[in-house]
Amino acid sequence: MRFGLFGGAARALGQSGDSLSYGRFIDYVVEAEQLGFESIFLVEHHFTGGGQVSASLNLLSYLAGRTTHMRLGTAVTVMPWHHPLLLAEQAATVDLVSNGRLDFGVGRGYRANEFHGFNIDPGEAQARYEEALELVMKSWTSRERFSHDGRFWSFRDVIVEPFPVQAPPPIWVAAGSEGSVRQAAKAGQRLLLDQFGSVELTGQRIGWYRDEQAKAGVTPERGQIALTRGLLLVDDAAKVDDEIRKRHGAIAALAATAQIPGRPAPEKPTGPFAVDTSDEATRQATVIGTPDDCIRRLKALEAAGVDYVLFNDPWGGIERLRFFAREVMPAFRPKAAAA
């Protein structure tokens, strides 16, 4: 089982949106690498007013200079916001300065306030995503000049530089429905599974992906599917209820941030925020409890086919990661080869 991190600076550590929170977040990531966390997948958000990470590829470029081996991911880069050739250059530069450590997560966008702010019609998101992703892939792989005359972009006689080190960096997509999971496997894309699905649903999704690989004669590999989970590890079972309350508060705050400024929030959260926030559902979809509880929950995920977990923890800080590394991680170390 591999472990990584999912999140970002500012609110991700439960702080106000000042610049210092970036410094604390950076220290957190640098120490996490030393503790054995194998990746950081950074979110990208805009116009929240809370100092969230917006320029994910710049923060990853910086982290490339402060870390040595952890994978540097986006989860996700929202394609409709970006100029596709500049994006290809920026991501290739991250891959280059990190010597091939970029994991490029891509998405269509879902936050109403971002479509509103960028003044982009949500109805165009899919078409913009497709055109931009095609252009990024072509930019990374074409060694000849090319021209493009698309719906949103046109370019003439371009060759995009620099080239990435990986040929090309892996593309990660967030998917959950059977169709989208199978489509990701068919396209050779890696899979980001959400932090709300139960163990059973997660196992089903992994099954769809592996089934599609089997049909195509592709050998499954470890680390192709990453599952995000809230990490609510505590040293005393009596603290669990408080952790659940904090998590519900964090989800509600995220949902509010995604609203168009000045408009009333919908009565019920929609889209990715329409999650079951009952205590029981939260327990089922998080890595929660004492070290023994967390080991048990992770073993259940392992039995369902999970080999890579990304932890989201907006308030526990480095102390929780140290506790996890000391008390939980050893239970998932590869067994030493028999003498």
Q: In the complex, which residues of this chain contact a copy of itself (CB under 8 A)?
A: 9-10, 17, 19, 22, 26, 46-55, 57-59, 61-66, 81-83, 85-86, 89-90, 92-94, 96-97, 113, 116-119, 145, 154-163, 165, 260-262
Of 163 and 209, the one with the shorter C-beta distance to a copy of itself is 163
- The distance of closest approach from Cβ of residue 312 to a copy of itself in the complex, given in angstroms and rounded to an integer, is 20
Q: How far is the CB of 99 from a copy of itself (least distance, A)?
A: 8
Concatenate the DSSP letters of all residues of 285-313 into one string.
Answer: TEEEESHHHHHHHHHHHHHTT--EEEEE-
Query: Amino acid letter at 73?
Result: G
| Rounded-to-10 torsion of CA 276, 281, 282, 287 | -140
Cβ-based nearer residue to a copy of itself, 82 or 247: 82
Cβ distance to a copy of itself smaller for residue 46 or 322: 46
CB closer to a copy of itself out of 116 and 210:
116
In angstroms, rounded to a whole number, what is the distance separating the alpha carbons of residues 193 and 175?
A: 6
Classify residue 87 as exposed, middle or buried by CB count within 10 Å of its CB (0-12, 13-18, 19+): buried
d(CA 59, CA 24): 13
Strand (E) or helix (H) holding 178: helix 178-186
Rounded to a whole number of angstroms, the minimum distance from the CB of residue 98 to a copy of itself is 8
Q: Output b/e per residue, 270-292; b: 16+ Cβ within 10 A.
A: eebbebeeeeeebebbbbbbbbe
Say if CB 295 and CB 331 are below 8 A apart: yes
- C-beta closer to a copy of itself: residue 165 or 199: 165
Residue 259, judged by CB atoms within 10 A of its CB (0-12, 13-18, 19+), counts as middle
**How far apart are CB 79 and a copy of itself at their closest, in Å?**
12
Cβ closer to a copy of itself: 115 or 172? 115
Closest contact distance (angstroms) between CB of 256 and a copy of itself is: 15
Rounded CA-CA distance 300/292 in Å is 12
- Alpha-carbon gap, residue 199 to 128, rounded angstroms: 33
CB of 328 to a copy of itself, least distance (A): 29
Question: How near is the Cβ of 163 to a copy of itself at its closest, in Å?
Answer: 7
- Shortest CB 202 distance to a copy of itself, Å: 33
Smallest distance from a copy of itself to CB 155, Å: 6
Residue in 13, 46, 18 with CA at minimum distance from that of residue 29: 13
Residue closer to a copy of itself by CB (options 91, 181) is 91
Is the N-terminal amide bond of 168 cis, ω within 30° of 0?
yes
Question: Looking at beta carbons only, is 32 or 185 nearer to a copy of itself?
Answer: 32
Cβ partners under 8 Å of residue 236, min gap 6: 290
Q: Which is nearer to a copy of itself, 70 or 94 (CB)?
A: 94
> Any bridge partners for residue 310, and if so which?
4, 228
Nearest to 7 by CA among 94, 97, 105: 105
